[in-house]
Amino acid sequence: MIGRALARVMWAVAVVWAVVTITFFVNEVIPSDPARMVAGPQAPPQEVARIREQLGLDRAVAARYAIFVTHLVHFGASAPDAKDPKHGTCAAFGPLHVDLGRSYVQRRPVVAILAERLPRSATLAAAAIVLQTLIGVVLGLIAAAKRRTAWDFAIVGATLVGASVPTFLTGLALQYAFAYRLRWFPYDGFGKTTAEQATALVLPALTLGLFGAAFATRLVRDEVAAALALDHARTARAKGASRLRVLIHHGLRHALAPVLTVAGIDFGALVGGAVVVETLFRWPGLGMVSVSALLDRDGPVIMGTVLVTSIAVVVANLVVDLAYVWLDPRARA
């Protein structure tokens, strides 16, 4: 297990590095001028040239990549000075520093922007995954237990609709029902107090959770139905085990591994930002900041969001892979 974990960690680091490197060079070859965007459309050429030199955009691509690599992870003082030109944009983890530069548009350290937005996206992703898993497991178990009945057909039909409807349409419907008609939750925004933030979280989390639950329900239904058809499940039922016990003990346990896999992968992707839902509900997470960075050609912020997203996806897959081995002893071979 230790050797397998170390191999997966090394592979994860290589994947993240490849994604970040590809993104860096793709961002460089896109025909645009961030210096012109920072200076404004009416700025004289001398001002644009000055800003281009200040941002380091006048250097060769290979030189800028070398600077990015050497500054990304390095060592320094435990508490870097914000006025220090070398470490003023760093996030310190003891002597280990992470530096993603300064935003062209916001003129703030990228690590500060990500530290502000990442917990919000992670909270939204966690709430959505909890709802997705709960709804998917409950409906999937009902559909498997009532297979080929009206309950099964209704649940399968609902999952087809849920998987086909775009998330923005689901979000609009929830806003109309629960914010406009019932006035239970706010339309959008983040809120200032903990209570306001909790109520503002419900609708975007439910929007993402319903979309994911459509796939989770079908997965649980199929896996549980397949498990109930196995010999050991039929034997347990013949020995007098209750239907509920067989359903949970033999059916649900069989479906836990694939459900965990889907939940882990979805969580890693949602941490990187659910762009449509965050924009619809004005949830200030990584999705909104990444869209703004792409429109403004804010290279450092683009690199930061890609780095965080790739790490989230890779770590989620790593955790799922190790948990899968723990859940299913057959996979340890």
Query: Cβ distance 131 to 138 under 8 Å?
Result: no
Question: In 94-241, which residue ranges form alpha helices assigned H by DSSP?
Answer: 110-145, 150-164, 167-174, 194-228, 231-238
d(CA 4, CA 321): 10
Exposed, middle or buried: residue 150 (CB in 10 Å: 0-12, 13-18, 19+)? Answer: exposed
pLDDT at 313: 84
* 3-state SS class at 93: strand
- In tens digits, the chain (333 residues) has pLDDT values of 677 778 878 888 888 888 888 888 887 777 777 777 777 777 788 888 888 887 777 788 888 888 888 877 777 666 555 555 565 677 777 777 788 888 888 888 888 888 888 888 889 999 999 999 999 889 988 888 888 889 889 988 998 888 888 888 989 999 999 988 888 888 888 878 888 889 999 999 999 999 888 888 888 888 888 877 777 777 777 777 777 777 777 777 777 778 888 888 888 778 866 788 888 888 888 888 888 888 878 888 888 888 888 888 888 888 877 777 666 666 665
CA distance 322 to 52: 46
| Cβ-contact 136, 220 below 8 angstroms | yes
The predicted structure's pLDDT at residue 305: 87
Closest CA to 307 of 101, 81, 120, 35: 101
The pLDDT value given to residue 278: 87
